[in-house]
């Protein structure tokens, strides 16, 4: 099965270099990014499209699927919870440490990276049991980092630079 993962289009916290905040919608640039990606993937048939339930992901999915209302969401595809870091500048943490799988550092009350990866891996393990040929997943940078760990291995545990950019797409074989 081919699994295509897409990160949502730009949202305000991306533009401001902040930790994710409330359930934000796409910016004008984020909408444009999704429309451009839609043109690039328009000839690919997907058996199913699954999205994070967060608005930025579902809005991106709506654009990519010609505003099809039959969106399927899965809670396991939510972005890693940044807890008390929400809305703060990215610089308040050591980003390498925040996205280090082997780190013991816990910033504020955020979701532990290993627990976060287990949640995403659980989704992928279940997806493996399905009989799809082509699946589109619309999610977040952190989720794409977990996909990278699942398909490419944990390696040195450093995931800061292993995530997708806004409306970037990557294909894996499951």
What Rg do the C-alpha atoms of the chain give, in angstroms?
15
Mean per-residue pLDDT for 53-70?
Answer: 92
Mean pLDDT (the chain, rounded): 95
138 pLDDT tier (thresholds 50, 70, 90): very high
pLDDT at 18: 95
**DSSP-derived secondary structure for the chain:** -EEEEEEPPP-HHHHTTB---SSPPP-HHHHHHHHHHHHHHTT---SEEEE-SSHHHHHHHHHHTTS-S--EE-GGGSPPP-GGGTTSBGGGS-HHHHTBTT-----SS---HHHHHHHHHHHHHHHHTS--SEEEEEE-HHHHHHHHHHHH--TTSB-TTSSPPTT-EEEEE-
What domains lie within the chain, and their CATH numbers? 2-173 (3.40.50.1240)
pLDDT at 59: 97
pLDDT at 127: 98
pLDDT at 112: 93
In the predicted model, is pLDDT for residue 150 greater than 80? yes
pTM beyond cutoff 0.85: yes
Of residues 69 and 142, more confidently modeled: 142
* Per-residue pLDDT tens digits for 92-119: 999 999 999 999 998 888 899 999 999 9
In the numeric block, the tokens 């532990």 are attached to 112
In the predicted model, is pLDDT for residue 22 greater than 80? no
Work out the number of other CB atoms within 10 angstroms of the CB of residue 78.
Answer: 20
Mean per-residue pLDDT for 58-85?
Answer: 92
């Amino acid at each position: 099965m081919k699994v295509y993962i897409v990160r949502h289009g730009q949202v305000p916290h991306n533009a401001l270099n902040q930790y994710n905040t409330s359930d934000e919608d796409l910016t004008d640039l984020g909408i444009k990014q999704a429309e451009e990606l839609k043109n690039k993937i328009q000839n690919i048939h997907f058996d199913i499209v699954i999205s994070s339930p967060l608005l930025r992901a579902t809005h991106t999915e709506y654009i990519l699927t010609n505003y099809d209302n039959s969106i399927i969401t899965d809670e396991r595809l939510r972005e890693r919870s940044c807890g008390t870091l929400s809305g703060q500048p990215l610089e308040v943490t050591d980003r390498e440490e925040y996205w280090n799988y082997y780190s013991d550092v816990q910033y504020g009350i955020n979701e532990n990276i290993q627990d976060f990866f287990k949640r995403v891996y659980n989704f992928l393990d279940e997806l493996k049991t399905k009989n799809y040929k082509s699946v589109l997943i619309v999610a977040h940078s952190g989720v794409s980092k977990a996909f990278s760990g699942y398909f490419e291995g944990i390696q040195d545990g450093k995931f800061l630079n292993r995530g997708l950019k806004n409306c970037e797409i990557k294909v894996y074989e499951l």
